[in-house]
Amino acid sequence: MGILGTCLIVLSCFSFAYGDASYQETLNLRPLPRNKLLSTFDFKIDSLPFDPSYQGTPDGPQKNLNHYTLFPSSLGPIIESTNTRELSLRFTQGWWDAQSWGKLPYDGSFSGGTGVEVLALIEAPSIDVARKHWSRLTKNLSGFFCASLNFIDKDITTFPKYAIQDSNIGNYKPEAGNKLYLLRAALPSEPVCTENLTPFLKLLPTGGKAGISSLLDGHKVFDSLWHGMSVDIVSECTGEGLCKLNLYQTVSQVIDIVRSLRKKEEGGIPKPTPGEKLRCDTSKDYNIWQCFPLSDPTELQWSLQTLYGRTIKGPAFEGDQEVSKVIIDHDPSVWNVTLQKESPTFVATRSFDTHGSNTIVESITEPYDYDFKFSTSNSSKVVPIEAPPLYVSRSLTGYSLDKGGLRVVFTNPGTEDVTFTYFESLPWFMRLYLSTLDITLKNSTGTFHIKDHSQFIRSRCYKPAVDRERPSHLEFVFSVPALSTLALTYDFDKSLLLYREYPPDANHGFDVEPAVIRVKNENNGGVYEFRTTSLLLTLPTPDFSMPYNVIILTCTVLSLAFGTMFNLLTKKTVTEEEFELASQQTNLAKLKRAISSRVNMLKTKVE
């Protein structure tokens, strides 16, 4: 056949292997009010079809790994060995201002609560086997993403009930005798840093070296008002008994443009603004000692190079116009967007004419450095913000160290009733009393105390906590009337922990994970999902200095008692004359006398 024929066969095999696998990446930019910018990086990877048969033990025979082409081979075996059919991993820090910024990106489908949140759909013959797979999965993900997921234990793991309706979107059917178990856990106090971004980029085919992922820098991503990373894996199956893994990765952040510009000019260390650069209200008295500051400027000029310190390093794969795209949502009447393509020997600049459209779609196809430059005369004028269908605030009530309460307020700003699922997982040391549940309704006609809870609670699921074994699992299906506010309150007791169960900073308090709200449509499908803020609970904390004082006092008393008894038992009391007589009979005294006599004899002979 020859070398040429062999090469053609190999190339045709590779073309077939990559034919069904796909990769897409998108960067969405949208200016927000008050000089903020929402940037969302979206990556999608599909694997080749494979046999998803159940793997009983991780030490069993290995499957054929030929379906790993663009899909990361480092993450795939973890998913398959634990029989995980769906996985959702969230890293989030900051607070999303829904009233100013509107809805979350992607309607909250890829956004989590503060800290780290993991949810998995696992196939297993029993719940005990599912827990074992869950434990292996969290420990593997902990090492893979440099997170503290290894601290996830059964005392913070829950099995959501109503959320299962929106899971298994890939139509996967378990084998005979197996079931699908949905497990969830969260670590609200887990910090998100650059160590989590590095393995995130390694999952991409480009490794963060080309395409829009080349913009991602940990120092820039995490220096934002709100940021979140997500990794979602879904098993999509066909009727032929084959499945493929779909990997969705997103990085979202809200950037303060004015602060980024100031840091670029002044450096990383904050400095006082010089007097000549202060923006003062000239209608009032101002001098070098007093100034009534104005709001942030509305005339701005910035670029991707300004915000991220780098540009887009060409496309992910050259020659494919559908792989790398940049989408910009703006108001063309006041915003001017310019594209600059640059190489060592080439520079080209092009302005966009959207013909009245608010959206710019630009494909990254050429091996140049792409930089998008923005200028505006009125940064307060942006694309209309879409308000979320529901606002929720959650807070702790009471100030006692043995009792407390929780208050959740749901506000429906729309003109139609809103139906949603409210999920909450409380730690076992918060002893919840569901009998104290109270609901108050407030609308345009007044405030009413609701006695019949079934008017607004369509269904509920409650699993009480078991000390050190299981958290409190609470799920409600609520319906809030239009233009109304619904307040939910209930009480709980605070448990006293064991000495070893307190963290080193026990007086700081204990973090309570955010609640999850999933707004539904008429067909009970999820249309919007978001989280509340986390809570900081103060528990009765002992004085940890007392054990130290007890140890010191005990050691002092024991040393004094032991020293006294030891002296009495081992030492003998003698007079001074007896001591001198006894000291003359020692070997050392005899040696001294012998040496002294010999020296005296030598002196006598010399004389």
- pLDDT tens digits along 209-256: 999 999 998 888 888 999 999 999 998 887 677 888 899 999 999 999
Structure tokens at 591: 């040696």
Closest CA to 157 of 460, 466, 594: 466
The pLDDT of residue 165 is above 60: no
CA 459 to chain centroid: 30
- In this structure, the answer to whether residues 39 and 168 fall within a common structural domain is yes
Q: Evaluate if residue 370 carries a pLDDT over 60.
A: yes
Question: How many structural domains compose the chain?
Answer: 3
Domain that holds residue 76: 22-54+68-259
- 449 and 579, same domain (yes or no): no
- Percent of the chain whose pLDDT exceeds 90: 55
Q: What is the mean pLDDT of residues 329-348?
A: 90
Neighbours of 45 (CB within 10 A): 22
Residue 37 pLDDT more than 60?
yes
Q: Is residue 337 part of a domain?
A: no
Same domain, 134 and 188: yes
- Where is the domain boundary, 542, 572, 600? 542
CA-to-CA distance for 71 and 56, rounded, in angstroms?
23
Question: 592 is written with which tokens?
Answer: 């001294």
434: region left, alpha or beta (phi > 0 left; psi from -120 to 50 alpha): alpha
Q: Are residues 234 and 165 in the same domain?
A: yes
Q: What's the average model confidence in pLDDT over 423-429? A: 95
Question: What pLDDT digit, counting tens, does each position of 482-506 carry?
Answer: 999 999 999 999 998 988 888 888 8
Handedness of CA 535, 540, 541, 543 (dihedral sign): positive
pLDDT at 5: 39
Lowest mean pLDDT among 7-11, 378-382, 590-594: 7-11
| Domain boundary, last residue among 542, 570, 602 | 542
Residue 333 forms part of a structural domain: no
Q: Where are the alpha helices (DSSP H) in 371-462?
A: none
Residue 279 lies in a domain: no
More confident: 526 or 57? 526
**Structural domain includes residue 471:** yes
Instruction: Report the distance separating Cα 510 and Cα 429, nearest Å.
Output: 10
Q: Radius of gyration (Cα) for the chain, nearest Å?
A: 35
In this model, does residue 325 exceed pLDDT 80? yes
559 plus 478 within the same structural domain:
no
Q: In b/e form, how buried is each residue of 162-183, taking b as 16+ CB within 10 angstroms?
A: bbeebbbebebebeeebebbbb
Better-scored residue on pLDDT, 390 or 20: 390
In a domain, 222, yes or no: yes
Let me know whether 44 and 173 are in one domain. yes
Backbone angles phi, psi at 88, to 5 degrees: -130, 120
Does position 14 have pLDDT exceeding 50, yes or no? Answer: no
Tens of pLDDT, residues 509-522: 999 999 999 998 87
Buried b / exposed e over 379-417, threshold 16 CB at 10 Å, is beebbeeeebbbbbebebeeeeeeebbbbbbbbbeeeee
Last residue within a domain, chosen from 259, 277, 306: 259
Shared-domain flag, residues 440 and 550: no
- Please indicate whether residue 96 or residue 74 has the higher confidence score (pLDDT): 96
pLDDT value, residue 235: 86
Residue 462: is its pLDDT beyond 70?
yes
How open is the CA angle 524-528-533, to the nearest 5 degrees?
A: 125
Span 552-580, pLDDT tens digits: 999 999 999 999 888 888 887 778 877 78
Q: Looking at residue 170, what is its pLDDT? A: 58
Mean pLDDT of 351-362: 86
Residues 538 and 553 in one domain: no
Mean pLDDT over the full length of the chain: 86
Whether residue 274 is contained in a domain is answered as no
For residue 463, pLDDT beyond 60? yes
**pLDDT band, residue 532 (cuts 50/70/90):** very high
Overall average pLDDT of the 40-48 stretch: 92
Residue 561 lies in a domain: yes
- Inform me whether the pLDDT recorded for 16 exceeds 50: no
pLDDT of residue 74: 87
Check whether residue 185 and residue 127 sit in a common domain.
Answer: yes
Q: Are residues 140 and 243 in the same domain?
A: yes
Q: Above pLDDT 70, what percent of the chain?
A: 92
Assess whether 142 and 198 both reside in one domain.
yes
Q: Is residue 45 located within the same domain as residue 179?
A: yes
Residue 11 lies in a domain: no
Among 133-147, 155-169, 312-326, 403-417, name the one with the lowest average pLDDT.
155-169
